[in-house]
Amino acid sequence: MISKAESRLRLQTIVRLRWLAVLGQLSAVAFVWVIMGFPLPVGYCLGLIALLAWVNVALSVKFPARHRLSIRLATLLLALDILQLAGLLFLTGGLQNPFTVLLLAPVTVSAATLPAASTVLLAVLALGSAYLLVFNYWPLPWYPGMRYEMPLAYKLGVLASVASGMAFIALYAWRLAREAELMSQALAATEEILAREQKLHALDGLAAAAAHELGTPLSTIYLVSSELERELGTTKYAEDIALLRSQSHRCREILQKLTRQPGEPDVWYARLSVRELLDEAVRPYRSGRTLVEVSSAPDTLASGMGVIEPVALRRPGMLYGIGNLIENAVDFAESRVEISARWTATTVRIVISDDGPGFPPELIEALGDPFISSRRNNPGRDGSRAGGLGLGFFIAKTLLERSGASLALENKGEGDHGAIVSVTWPRAEFEPTTQEGAG
């Protein structure tokens, strides 16, 4: 985990970027001074480049390569990059120098790795430096005896282009970094919830293993207590021995219900019909204030084998996903949630509808992305917006799509209000083991 005081910028990254900058600056100075023969304050320029190189060396010595820089140190280093580049531009023509565009680089790096406050501070520093370079600079290196000077209006235009480019690129980099971070957090939460559901699902297997391991000692206890009861007869311990025998016998019966052969599935538990799936998902909301109605039947177009109710393998992800959609519908409904399941020979569809406010039209296309929530505009029945980060819906959508389903969101038509969520599986995906079991 990255602490609040740490940036997402690793030392290795900024050191490599700076070495590229040093090589690029040295190449540009050498080309202008040696190949083109333009007069150039080469000593000052090399001094500024050496400053950047020595700072790089000091950082590499002080910190390991994978060290994450603190927000303050990363901001200071990027500020130094801006000032060093501004110093080189001051020596080589100010904003007339075509390399002025490189002022965007430190601000872009900050937008992708540092908080917004640091990025704004660095952008102000870069634009302030660029503004000063409009009026204060040494001449642009040019042919001997000639001075190249651009009109003031042109230099102000360059300043405006730097400012607009900086705003656009920084905002774009920040947005991409933010979306990547949110997606990473959402996927981590999805994996955590799926792992928890799988652990719950595995309890049945653990119970069977425990029954198998405890069966032998309980059989021994039962046998010994039976022998003691027969040997001791009507002594004062007879009642206690009888109780011990009856309780051990009861434990054996309980464990026999849990015991099954290794690899042999518990058909009653491991498989669910469509109706059983909905009943299990709806059970937590039966006693609430919202009326939840469930119906299941073959589609009116179904025929032949298509009218037979599909039976799916119990999958924790599918149960969690359907349950989350039902929970959302109950939270937003005014009084009623309707859940219907229909199937044909090729598809299985579950439709969840409520009589709440419906999906906000401006968000309906984005719902399902992490941290995009309809609660921002439509509070729940109790008026609360808390917890409406959209992460739960993202997780439900991800898990259902992993099971082979596709989701569709819409609002009810004119004259009615409420949301409709349709979850549709190809029947072969919904019951992948049914035909195998039949064979």
pLDDT at 190: 65
* The pLDDT value given to residue 79: 94
Measured CA to CA in angstroms, residue 199 lies from 193, 195, 204, 233 at distances of 10, 6, 10, 48
- 137 shares a domain with 238: no
- Give the tokens for residue 283: 């059970």
**Measured between alpha carbons, how far is 7 from 3 in angstroms, rounded to an integer?**
8
Task: Decide which of 121, 150, 179 is a domain's last residue.
Answer: 150
**Residue 411: strand, helix, or coil:** strand
pLDDT at 416: 81
Q: What is the pLDDT of residue 262?
A: 42
Contacts of 396 (CB under 8 A, 6+ apart): 320, 321, 322, 324, 325
d(CA 88, CA 99): 10
List, in order, residues 6 or more apart from 206 with CB less than 8 Å away.
none
Asked if residue 205 is part of any domain, the answer here is yes
* 348, 380: one domain: yes
Is 13 inside a domain boundary? yes
Cα–Cα distance list, 45 to 23, 32, 58, 93, 161 (Å): 13, 12, 20, 13, 25
* 155 inside domain: no
Q: What is the DSSP string of 147-179?
A: -----HHHHHHHHHHHHHHHHHHHHHHHHHHHH
Give the residue from 368, 387, 391, 392 showing the smallest Cα distance to 376.
387
Do 142 and 89 lie in one domain? The reply is: yes
CA–chain centroid gap for 86, Å, is: 39
CA 270 to chain CA centroid, nearest Å: 30
Mark whether 127 and 24 lie in a shared domain: yes
Give the HSE-up count for residue 29: Cα atoms under 13 Å, Cβ half-sphere: 22
As beta bridge partners, residue 351 has: 340, 422
- Ordered DSSP codes for 27-61: HHHHIIIIIS-----HHHHHHHHHHHHHHHHHHHH
Tell me, yes or no, whether 168 lies in a domain: no
Q: Residue 240 has what pLDDT?
A: 79
The range of the structural domain enclosing residue 75 comes to 6-150
34: Cβ contacts below 8 Å, ≥ 6 apart: none
**Residue 350: per-residue pLDDT:** 95
Half-sphere exposure of 378 (CA within 13 A, CB side): 23
Instruction: Please give the sequence-ordered ranges of beta strands (E in DSSP) within 307-386, or none if there are none.
Output: 311-313, 336-343, 347-354
pLDDT in tens, the chain (439 residues): 444 556 678 888 889 989 999 999 999 999 999 998 898 899 999 999 999 999 999 998 888 877 888 889 999 999 999 999 999 999 999 999 999 999 999 999 998 888 889 999 999 999 999 999 999 999 999 888 788 889 999 999 999 999 999 999 989 888 888 777 776 776 676 667 666 666 655 555 555 556 666 767 777 887 887 877 777 766 777 777 788 878 877 777 766 665 544 444 455 557 888 998 999 889 888 888 889 999 999 998 888 888 899 998 888 778 888 988 999 899 989 999 999 999 998 999 999 999 998 888 877 777 766 656 555 455 554 444 434 446 678 778 888 888 889 999 999 887 788 999 999 999 988 987 544 433 3
Helices of type H across 339-433 = 391-402, 427-430
Which residues on adjacent β-strands are paired with residue 419? Answer: 411
Q: Which of 150, 166, 185 is the last residue of a domain?
A: 150
Compute the 3-state secondary structure of the chain and give helix, strand, coil in percent, each to the nearest 5: 60, 10, 25
Task: Give 58-83 as a 3 state SS string.
Answer: HHHHHCCCCCEEEHHHHHHHHHHHHH
Residue 382 lies in a domain: yes
Q: What does the alpha-carbon distance between residue 74 and residue 70 come to, in Å, rounded to a whole number? A: 6
- 242 is a domain residue: yes
Quick one: pLDDT at residue 389? 40
Same domain, 301 and 416: yes
Query: What is the rounded CA–CA span in Å between residue 416 and residue 403?
Result: 32
- Number of domains composing the chain: 3
In a shared domain, residues 283 and 374: yes
Pairing of strands 336-343, 291-298: parallel
Give the count of beta carbons closer than 10 Å to the beta carbon of residue 379: 16
Judge if 224 and 275 occupy the same domain: no
DSSP 33: I
Q: Look at residues 252, 269, 286 and tell me which one is the last residue of a structural domain.
A: 269
Domain co-membership, 420 together with 284: yes
Same domain, yes or no, for 279 and 246?
A: no
For residues 99 and 78, give the distance between their C-alpha atoms in angstroms, rounded to a whole number.
17
**Residues 362 and 264 occupy one common structural domain:** no
Angle at 355 between CA 354 and CA 357, to 5 degrees: 105
172 lies in a domain?
Answer: no
* Shared-domain flag, residues 226 and 339: no
Q: Which pLDDT does position 207 carry in this prediction?
A: 58
Domain match, 385 and 315 both = yes
Q: What are phi and psi of 281, to 5 degrees?
A: -70, -30
Give the helix/strand (H/E) hosting 236: none
Establish if 359 belongs to a structural domain: yes
| CATH number, domain with residue 304 | 3.30.565.10
